[in-house]
Amino acid sequence: MEKEKEKKTITDKVWDLFASVKLAIIIFSLIALTSIVGTIVEQQAEPERNLKLLAKMFGESSAPTIYSVLDSLGFMNMYHSWWFVGLLLLFAANLIICSFDRLPRVLKMVNEKVRPLPPEHLEKMSIKKAVSLKGKASQFRELGVSALNDIGFKPLESSGEQGTQFYAEKGNFTRLGVYITHLSILIILAGAIIGIFFGFNAFLNLPEGETSSVAFQDRGVEVPLGFALRCDNFEVDYYPNSDMPKAYRSWLTVIKNGREVMKKSIVVNDPLVYEGITFYQASYGPVPNAMGNGIFILKLISKNGNSEQVQAKLGDSFAIPGTSVRGKIVDFSPALSIDPSGRAFTYADQLVNPAVAIEFSDSGEKKFSGWLLKRYPKTWDLPDGNRVEFMDYWGVEYTGMQVRKDPGVWIVYLGCFIMAAGLYITFFMSHKRVWVNISEDKNEVKVLIGASANRNRAAFEHKIEKLAGLLSAGPKGGK
Amino acid sequence: MDSSTFFGLSTVAYILAMVTYIIYLAFKKESLGIVATALTVAGFVSQTLAFGLRWKEFYDIGQMGILRAVPLTNLYESLIFFVWCLILAYLIIEFKYKNRSFGAFVTPVAGLALAFIDISGMSTNIQPLVPALQSNWLLAHVMMSFIAYAMFAISFSTGLMYLIVRTENRNEPAYIFWTVMLSIFIITLSAMGLDYFTFRVAIQSQEELIKSYLFKASFMSSSSSVAVLSWGIAAAFTFFIWRFGGTLKKIIAGFNISHEMLDEITYKSIAIGFPIFTLGGLIFGAIWADQAWGKYWTWDPKETWSLITWFFYAFYLHSRLMRGWKGKKVAIVAVLGFMAVIFTYLGVNLLLSGLHSYGAQ
């Protein structure tokens, strides 16, 4: 033994180390422990946030020191740090070598064909049944085959001194389920690596009406798209009587070489894909310093049915078609509310409840003025029977999009599919073997059943009971 | 009648069932056992009705299609579904193994989970769906995750019982492990109950709950004497469980629960829960994240903790199947695995921030 150990080369030693379950446990634990730190320390956040957190945990005085130590170790962006990626690669190496180390033995079991066994052997099996019946053994030959067919086996037959034996097996490949699952983890990791090297993650905040041919990564790094994207419109739908968004949607146009090549509206859970680059609806917000400069889109309907759509800015005037009534846009609020004394005020910077104040006059004479709210069509009817529909306030909001290119994602999906299959095979299927030995003893026929399954034995035992039932019903009953 | 009436009925039924199962354990009267089972079944039926009604109420409010109206969108609804899965799994086990005594260990988990809903004062209103949740993946991802959590909860109960039955010596690490685990479990729940009865306020947000109320009636009390007393009582209670843990063993042993059966149920529930968790929790979650956020994996706290949980159970399966670890060692892994589940489910939502934060509302 001692001498054998000395003979081992370095390659063998490294192989043994990686094939050991101990190393797997150490890597598992290291990944888990460091991940826990990563979920507590906010990742890729402003330093102040984590300083505050650390101050709460360890006190004001030691927080900066702990922060700089953690920062230099890469914990502030730890899932992308060299050592964490290194741990994941070690895990992959461990998985590959562990699997290869055990694979030959398992392949041997998979390829080993079931063989007839002596009856003494069957009596020692984990599942066994013995039935004694009247008649001749030859009567049971056909029944043996059909009963085994009934429980889903295709038996082989061999005859010897100790009678006739039917034997069969099923699902020997299921022993590979574990390796299929392991392989799937490696495929997923491979897909992730391809994504890191050949793809990118970026974002793009695009105001209504503007066009961009680049997206942005952290610290303002520009990523060229290879085409341009324009935001034609952006719209938020709210749940009734609440400021909770029900859906938000951007209407986008893809422009390549000066031509419009694609138009699509996107919402959360339904992105736009063009040339392998995907645009996901992620957020939205007001364009800084633009709130007063947008364009009102109003639909004017006179009481005798004439209608017209107009675009106007703050301070502009318009005429209701076919009448002498004119309106002048005098004020705007992105989020209008009324206080108890009846005064209007703005309660948010976001475009949650847009309202426009319009002064109406007839032939130069002031008639009435009031607020028209986009979300409340009731406010659109004027006292004189005309109607001004507040369609949109355009050009003041941006749509926030996550932009991604990931050629590895299909490999990840393939890996997931293989993993599901592998787990199903591993946990819900098994390698089952069954032997039925039929021998004659004086006037009796002795049927001995032995069976084994590497998993889910209880379910297989039920099948064997059914088999025993079929056989003990005798040749006539079996037909 | 609306869904909350039936939810209330099922809570009462489970708590009564818990009491009856415990009395049944003490007096071993068959008729009591039948009553306990009947109560559990009644609670289950009532909860099933409630779940269906809430689904319909949600559908009427949301108008998004029946598949997207599954009432599994916040902490309250998910806890209720978790309890439902747990009770269903328990009833199957009771039927299959013809043994009622597990009821005394499972119904408390169900009753306490429902009581936790009251204690934490979480919102029971139907909330409209935020855009990120408007996807058909919601049904598959959340439902399968919770079925898996329920299976893991079963393995926790049987794993803990296994340790109780199999440990002899008070100085044995496995004995100390289970006494401490059981004590922490009971003490945490009692402290939360105390918070509830002390403050009795309707809490607006989970953040407020954690910052202002959690353990403020005991361990974190502003009065230092109350805090010291609480820690003292907690230590004394742990010592008590440690000193008299043997009694619990005798009670369980008196009920024909063999340790082989406990080990088998622990393994089987993990063998069912693990693939469901992998497929529904991790894989479907990744596919959905890919469609909604543009990244199939972001190392968001929920994802990371799911992975840690997955590691625990992968470790359990490997150590049992590959290394042939049997008994106490793997039972400890099963118990610890469920601690990771609790943190993935509740801890992440209550304590950490991230993309999955809508679960905390």
Minimum CA–CA partner of B132 in chain A: A268
**Residue in B16, B199, B235, B219 with CA at minimum distance from that of residue B118:** B199
Query: Least CB-CB distance to B275: which of A35, A404, A427?
Result: A427
More confident residue, B75 or A375: A375
Q: How far apart are CA B128 and CA B71, in angstroms?
A: 10
- Decide if B80 contacts B51 (C-beta within 8 A): yes
Query: Least CB-CB distance to B283: which of A280, A403, A419?
Result: A419
Q: Decide if pLDDT at B353 tops 80.
A: no
Minimum CA–CA partner of A415 in chain B: B283
Query: How far is residue B46 CA from its own chain's centroid?
Result: 20
- B contact residues 257-316, partner A, Cβ 8 Å cutoff: 271-272, 274-275, 278-279, 283, 286-287, 290-297, 299, 301, 304-305, 307-308, 311, 314-315
Q: Which two three-digit tokens encode residue B251?
A: 């009670």
Number of Cβ within 10 Å of residue A264's Cβ equals: 15
| CB-count burial class (<10 Å; 0-12, 13-18, 19+) for B262 | buried
- Decide if A154 contacts A434 (C-beta within 8 A): no
Q: How far apart are CA A157 and CA A164, in angstroms?
A: 7
| B355 CB within 8 Å of a chain A CB | no
pLDDT at residue B186, as a whole number: 82
| A17 CB within 8 Å of a chain B CB | no
Residues of B in contact with A32 (CB under 8 A): 308, 311
Most B CBs within 10 A among A40, A185, A268, hence the mutation to make, goes to: A268
Per the listing, tokens 């104040």 go with A357
Query: Least CB-CB distance to B135: which of A28, A201, A269?
Result: A269
Q: Under an 8 A CB cutoff, do B291 and A271 touch?
A: yes
What is the domain range of residue B159? 3-360
| B324 CB within 8 Å of a chain A CB | no
Query: How far is residue B352 CA from its own chain's centroid?
Result: 19
The mean-pLDDT minimum among A94-98, B71-75, B180-184 falls in: B71-75
DSSP A270: B
Residues of A in contact with B352 (CB under 8 A): 39-40
| A26 CB within 8 Å of a chain B CB | no
- A contact residues 30-59, partner B, Cβ 8 Å cutoff: 31-32, 35-36, 38-40, 42-43
- Decide if B75 contacts B360 (C-beta within 8 A): yes
Residues of B in contact with A409 (CB under 8 A): 290, 296
Q: How far apart are CA A424 and CA A418, in angstroms?
A: 10
Q: How far apart are CA B333 and CA B317, in angstroms?
A: 10
Q: How far apart are CA B285 and CA A284, in angstroms?
A: 24
pTM: 0.84
Query: Least CB-CB distance to B293: which of A280, A403, A409?
Result: A280
- Decide if A251 contacts A265 (C-beta within 8 A): yes
Q: Under an 8 A CB cutoff, do B323 and A269 touch?
A: no
What is the DSSP track for A139-169? Answer: GHHHHHHHHHHHTT---EEEEETTEEEEEEE
Residues of A in contact with B69 (CB under 8 A): none
Q: How far apart are CA A110 and CA B303, in angstroms?
A: 36
Q: How far apart are CA B350 and CA B121, in angstroms?
A: 13
Q: How far apart are CA B336 and CA B177, in angstroms?
A: 10
Query: Least CB-CB distance to A269: which of B292, B305, B348?
Result: B292
Query: Least CB-CB distance to A244: which of B128, B348, B352?
Result: B128
pLDDT digits (tens), chain A, 479 positions: 444 555 678 888 888 888 777 888 888 889 888 888 888 887 777 788 788 878 877 878 888 888 888 888 888 888 888 888 899 999 999 888 888 888 898 899 888 888 888 888 888 888 898 888 887 777 788 888 888 998 889 999 888 888 889 999 998 899 899 899 999 999 999 999 898 889 898 999 999 999 999 999 877 889 999 999 999 999 888 887 778 888 889 999 999 999 999 999 999 888 999 999 999 998 898 888 888 888 999 999 998 888 899 999 998 999 988 888 899 999 988 888 878 887 888 888 788 888 999 999 988 888 888 899 888 888 898 888 899 999 888 888 999 999 999 999 999 999 999 999 999 999 889 999 999 998 887 778 888 999 999 888 888 888 899 999 888 887 654 44
More confident residue, B255 or B34: B34
The mean-pLDDT minimum among A278-282, B182-186, B266-270, B350-354 falls in: B350-354
Most confident of A364-368, B5-9, B59-63, B329-333: B329-333
Per the listing, tokens 């007063």 go with A292
Share of chain B above pLDDT 70, in %: 86
Q: A383: helix, coil or strand?
A: coil
Across B328-346, average pLDDT: 90
The string of pLDDT tens digits covering residues B55-71 is 888 788 766 677 777 78
- Decide if B3 contacts B81 (C-beta within 8 A): no
Q: Under an 8 A CB cutoff, do A35 and B308 touch?
A: yes
Q: Under an 8 A CB cutoff, do A35 and B134 touch?
A: no
Report CA-CA distances (Å) from A244 to A205, A397, B307: 21, 17, 32
Q: B120: helix, coil or strand?
A: helix
Mean pLDDT score of chain B:
82
CA distance B274 to chain A (A): 9
Residues of A in contact with B278 (CB under 8 A): 419-420, 423
- Decide if B107 contacts B14 (C-beta within 8 A): yes
The string of pLDDT tens digits covering residues B194-244 is 776 676 555 555 555 665 666 777 777 777 888 888 888 889 999 888 888
Query: How far is residue A401 CA from its own chain's centroid?
Result: 19
pLDDT at residue A359, as a whole number: 92
Query: Least CB-CB distance to A409: which of B130, B283, B296?
Result: B296
More confident residue, B256 or A302: A302
**How many structural domains compose chain B?**
1
- A contact residues 231-290, partner B, Cβ 8 Å cutoff: 239, 242, 244-248, 267-271, 278, 280-282
Most confident of A135-139, B169-173, B275-279, B329-333: B275-279
| A279 φψ region: left (φ > 0), alpha (ψ -120 to 50), beta (else) | beta
Q: How far apart are CA A473 and CA A447, in angstroms?
A: 12
CA distance B10 to chain A (A): 32
Domains of chain A listed by start with CATH number: 2-107 (no CATH), 113-171+430-478 (3.30.310.80), 187-288+398-419 (2.60.98), 295-394 (no CATH)
Q: How far apart are CA A289 and CA A314, in angstroms?
A: 15
The string of pLDDT tens digits covering residues B128-151 is 777 777 788 888 898 899 999 999
Strand ranges of the sheet holding A325-333, from the earlier edge strand across to the other edge: A317-319, A325-333, A355-362, A365-373
Q: Under an 8 A CB cutoff, do B293 and A402 touch?
A: yes
Tell me phi and psi for residue A59, to 5 degrees.
95, 155
More confident residue, B348 or A199: A199
The string of pLDDT tens digits covering residues B283-313 is 999 998 888 888 898 888 889 999 999 999 9
